[in-house]
Amino acid sequence: MKLLTHNLLSSHATEVRIKSVEFNREFVTRLIPRVEWEVLLEAADHLQLVEVPKGPVEGYEQDETFLRKMHHVLLEVEVLEGTLQCPESGRMFPISHGIPNMLLSSEEAET
């Protein structure tokens, strides 16, 4: 599961890995306006990632260094084990082998 998922849910990772992904400048540039910075920075702090920008810089579209740092944190950091938590309901979803299980139990689906 890519760290990018943190835009929607908070997580508690117990195991992560770095997996190289080809840099796509245009794709990363389009992601920047959608980043929930507070959530991303909390996740990065929890994972002790040090090279994470604190927010978008002016003219980021042309800033290769900024875009590569964001590419790394959003697309190359993978959570292998842990949990995701919905900020609205508090519901916890386990992450196992990099795959979040977001299926509801039969009791939860009925409500």
Q: What is the C-alpha separation between 16 and 95, in angstroms, rounded?
A: 11
Name the region of 94 (left: φ>0; alpha: ψ -120 to 50; beta: rest). beta
Q: What is the C-alpha separation between 61 and 31, in angstroms, rounded?
A: 11
- pLDDT (tens digit per residue) in 17-40: 999 999 999 999 999 999 989 888
Q: What is the C-alpha separation between 53 and 74, in angstroms, rounded?
A: 11
Prediction pTM value:
0.77
Average pLDDT value for residue range 52-61: 95
Q: DSSP letters of 61-81?
A: GG-HHHHHHHHIIIIIEEEEE
Cβ atoms 93, 9 nearer than 8 A: yes
